[in-house]
Amino acid sequence: MAIRRVIEVGDEVLRKKAKEVEKVDDKIRELLDDMVETMHKFNGVGLAAPQVGILKRIIVIDLYDDKGPIKLVNPVIIKEKGEQEVEEGCLSFPNQYAKIIRPMEVKVKALNENGEEIKISAKGLLAQALAHEIDHLDGILFIDKIIPGTLEFIEQNQ
C-alpha cells in the first residue's frame, strides 16, 4: 500500500468526468487500498479517485465506525430522499468548510472490491459522504453547492 498525493483546488483534473471501471482486478484493488490509506493519513471521511489524479469511478469512505472502510467501484445513486443541511469540507480544499444541502437518505448501487454488485442504503453522514464522493466522479465539487455566505477558512491545529 502507498499514500498517494491528494490533488488540491485549482487542478483541472478535479473538474473532469471519471470513466467507468470495466473490470475490478488487482490493480483496482491496489488503488482502493492506497486510497483508504491516503484518506486515513489525512483524517478524511471520503476520497474519490480523481482526487489522486485517476479518472476512474472509484470512491472510498470511512466514518470510523464498525462498518470500516467502504470501497466502491462505479457507484451510482439510484434513489434519494429528503434533505439535510450539513457542514462540509473536502481533502482537496484544505481548511475550507461550508454549509450545504445534501440528501438525507440515498440508495447506491456499486461494485465491491470483488466486482460483485452491491446496494447500500444510507442516512445522515453516510448519505452525505456518498453524495459528496459520487459528485467528484462527475467533476462536481462541494463549493458548487454551498449555501451563499457560509464558506469559512479554519486552520486545523496539527
User: What one-character-per-residue DSSP string does the chain give?
Assistant: --PPPPP-TT-GGGGSPPBPPS---HHHHHHHHHHHHHHHHTT-SEEEGGGGT--BSEEEE--SSTT--EEEEEEEEEEEE--EEEEE--TTSTTEEEEEEE-SEEEEEEE-TTS-EEEEEEEHHHHHHHHHHHHHTTT--GGGSBPTT--EE-PPP-
Query: By the criterion CB under 5 A, which residues form the site for Ni ion?
Result: 90
Q: Which residue is nearest to Ni ion (CB)?
A: 90
Comparing CB distances to Ni ion, the nearer of 84 and 115 is 84
Catalytic residue among 8, 133, 152, 155, which? Answer: 133
Catalytic residue flag (residue 133): yes
Give the shortest CB-142-to-Ni ion separation in angstroms.
Answer: 6
Give the shortest CB-79-to-Ni ion separation in angstroms.
Answer: 22
Give the shortest CB-92-to-Ni ion separation in angstroms.
Answer: 6
Comparing CB distances to Ni ion, the nearer of 86 and 90 is 90
Comparing CB distances to Ni ion, the nearer of 72 and 90 is 90
Residues serving a catalytic function are 133
